[in-house]
C-alpha cells in the first residue's frame, strides 16, 4: 500500500494490492483504521458483503473510497485479506488530508490620526502542509510590502507607518501553503482603516472663530479683575470685604490679611493694617499702621480706596484688636 495525499472536501481512494496463488480466491477483504504500528483501531469501515458505510464505500477493485474527506480523516488505514484456502494478509497505508483555514483579520475597524501608525493582525493560521505564508491585500490589490519605510510586516502582523488619506480602505490577509497557493489561498474577513478627523490640531489651520472669541472674553475678564484689584494699575488699590462686628468694622482683603475698621464722623471707615516696626523697644507696643480711607456709604466705591495716608507710628493701637 502507498501513502496518499488529498485535499479536504475531495474524494480519497486507498488501494489494497494483492496477488492470489493458483486455485485460491478472495474470501473477504476488510478495511479499518490503524495506529502508527499498524494495529487495528475501531470497528470495520467497509468489507466484502458490507460495501457502504456513510462516507466509506468499497469500489469494484476493493479500494477504500472516502467521499468528501475531512481533516480528521488523516489517519492510517488497514487492509486485511482472507482467502478461500485460509491464507491471510495484512498491510496498512497512511492518508494525509491537506487543508488551509481562513485566517481572521483584527481589528475589523481601525481609526487612527494622520501620521500615526496602524496595525492589523492576521491570526488563526492553521493548515497542512506548513509553512503557511501570508500575502497582504488592500482592496483587490496586493500591497507592495517591499516598501519598508511604509510597511512593517510578518506572517501575523501588518504595520502601516505614517498613515495618510491614501491608506484609507479595506484590507485582507491571504494565507497560502504548498497545497493552496496564489488565488487558491484562503482570504480573511475584510477590515477597514479610516482616518480620525475629530479634534485634530492642524498647524496649517487657524483657530476657530468661536475659540478666538472665547479667549478674548477670558482675557478681558482677567484684565478687568486685575485692574480692579490693583495688580496692574499705577494707582494701588485693594479689594476689600467688610464684616460688621460688635467692636467695629473688620475689613479683610482678598489675600485674607486682616484690617481693622475705624468709623469716622463723616461716614467713612479707615482701614489700617498692623505692620511690625523695624525697631521695637522692649515692653513697648509700637506698630506702624498704613491707613486707607473707604467710603462704605457709596455702593460704587464701597470696596475701593478713596485716599491713603502716610504710614505713622501709633502706640495707642493694640496689634491684637
Question: How deeply is 89 buried, as exposed, middle or buried, from its count of CB atoms within 10 A (0-12, 13-18, 19+)?
Answer: middle
CA nearest 291: which of 305, 279, 280?
305
pLDDT at residue number 256: 46
Query: Distance between CA 82 and CA 96 in Å, rounded?
Result: 27
| The three cell numbers locating residue 268 | 467713612
pLDDT above 50: residue 278: no
pLDDT at residue number 283: 43
Mean pLDDT of 25-47: 96
Query: Distance between CA 162 and CA 282 in Å, rounded?
Result: 77
Give me the sign of the Cα torsion angle 309, 310, 314, 318.
Answer: positive
Contacts of 268 (CB under 8 A, 6+ apart): 293, 294, 295, 296, 297, 306
CA nearest 10: which of 125, 96, 130?
96
Mean pLDDT of 66-80: 97
Phi, then psi, of 147 in degrees rounded to 5: -80, 85
Q: Report all structural domains of the chain as residue ranges with CATH numbers, in order of start.
A: 4-99 (2.60.40.10), 104-195 (2.60.40.10), 211-321 (no CATH)
CA 9 to chain centre: 39
- If one compares 12 and 284, the residue with the highest pLDDT of the two is 12
- pLDDT class of 200 with cuts at 50, 70, 90: very low
Mean pLDDT of 281-286: 40
Phi, then psi, of 223 in degrees rounded to 5: -65, -45
pLDDT above 60: residue 236: no
Question: How deeply is 256 buried, as exposed, middle or buried, from its count of CB atoms within 10 A (0-12, 13-18, 19+)?
Answer: exposed
pLDDT at residue number 149: 93
pLDDT above 90: residue 7: yes
Per-chain mean pLDDT for the chain: 78
Q: Residues 125, 103: contact at Cβ < 8 Å?
A: yes
Q: Enter the DSSP assignment of 317.
A: S
pLDDT above 90: residue 245: no
Mean pLDDT of 134-144: 94
Residue 10, CB-side half-sphere exposure with 13 Å CA sphere: 14
> Distance of CA 300 to CAs 114, 254, 295, 305, Å?
56, 18, 9, 11
pLDDT above 90: residue 265: no
Lowest mean pLDDT among 272-281, 282-291, 309-318: 309-318
pLDDT at residue number 226: 53
Q: Are strands 88-100 and 127-128 parallel, antiparallel or unpaired?
A: antiparallel
- pLDDT class of 197 with cuts at 50, 70, 90: confident
pLDDT at residue number 221: 64
pLDDT above 70: residue 153: yes
Q: Enter the DSSP assignment of 299.
A: G
pLDDT at residue number 215: 77
Q: Residues 188, 122: contact at Cβ < 8 Å?
A: yes
**Which residue has 505713622 as its cell numbers?**
312
Query: Distance between CA 91 and CA 62 in Å, rounded?
Result: 14
Report the residue count for the chain: 321
pLDDT at residue number 203: 47
Query: Distance between CA 175 and CA 99 in Å, rounded?
Result: 11
CA 217 to chain centre: 39
Amino acid at each position: 500500500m502507498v501513502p496518499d495525499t488529498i485535499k479536504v472536501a475531495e474524494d480519497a481512494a486507498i488501494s489494497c494490492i494483492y496477488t492470489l496463488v493458483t486455485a485460491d480466491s478472495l474470501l473477504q477483504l476488510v478495511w479499518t483504521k490503524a495506529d502508527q504500528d499498524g494495529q487495528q483501531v475501531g470497528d470495520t469501515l467497509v468489507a466484502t458483503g458490507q460495501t457502504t458505510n456513510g462516507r466509506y464505500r468499497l469500489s469494484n477493485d476493493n479500494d477504500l473510497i472516502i467521499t468528501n474527506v475531512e481533516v480528521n480523516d488523516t489517519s492510517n488505514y488497514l487492509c486485511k485479506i482472507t482467502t478461500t484456502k485460509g491464507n491471510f494478509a495484512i498491510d496498512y497505508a497512511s492518508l494525509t488530508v491537506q487543508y488551509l483555514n481562513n485566517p481572521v483579520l483584527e481589528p475589523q475597524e481601525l481609526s487612527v490620526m494622520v501620521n500615526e501608525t496602524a496595525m492589523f493582525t492576521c491570526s488563526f493560521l492553521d493548515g497542512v502542509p506548513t509553512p503557511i505564508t501570508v500575502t497582504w491585500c488592500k482592496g483587490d490589490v496586493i500591497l507592495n510590502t517591499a516598501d519598508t519605510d511604509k510597511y512593517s510586516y510578518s506572517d501575523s502582523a501588518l504595520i502601516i507607518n505614517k498613515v495618510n488619506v491614501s491608506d484609507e480602505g479595506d484590507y485582507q490577509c491571504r494565507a497560502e501553503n504548498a497545497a493552496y497557493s496564489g488565488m487558491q489561498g484562503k482570504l480573511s474577513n475584510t477590515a477597514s482603516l479610516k482616518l480620525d478627523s475629530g479634534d485634530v490640531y492642524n498647524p496649517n489651520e487657524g483657530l476657530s472663530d468661536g475659540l478666538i472669541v472665547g479667549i478674548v472674553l477670558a482675557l478681558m475678564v482677567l484684565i478687568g479683575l486685575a485692574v480692579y484689584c490693583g495688580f496692574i494699575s499705577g494707582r494701588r488699590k485693594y479689594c476689600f470685604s467688610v464684616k460688621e462686628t460688635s467692636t467695629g468694622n473688620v475689613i479683610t482683603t482678598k489675600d485674607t490679611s486682616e484690617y481693622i475698621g475705624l468709623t469716622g464722623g463723616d461716614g467713612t471707615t479707615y482701614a489700617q493694617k498692623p505692620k511690625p516696626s523695624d525697631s521695637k523697644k522692649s515692653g513697648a507696643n509700637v506698630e506702624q499702621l498704613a491707613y486707607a480711607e473707604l467710603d462704605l456709604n457709596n455702593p460704587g466705591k464701597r470696596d475701593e480706596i478713596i485716599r491713603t495716608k502716610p504710614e505713622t507710628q501709633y502706640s495707642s493701637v493694640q496689634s491684637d484688636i
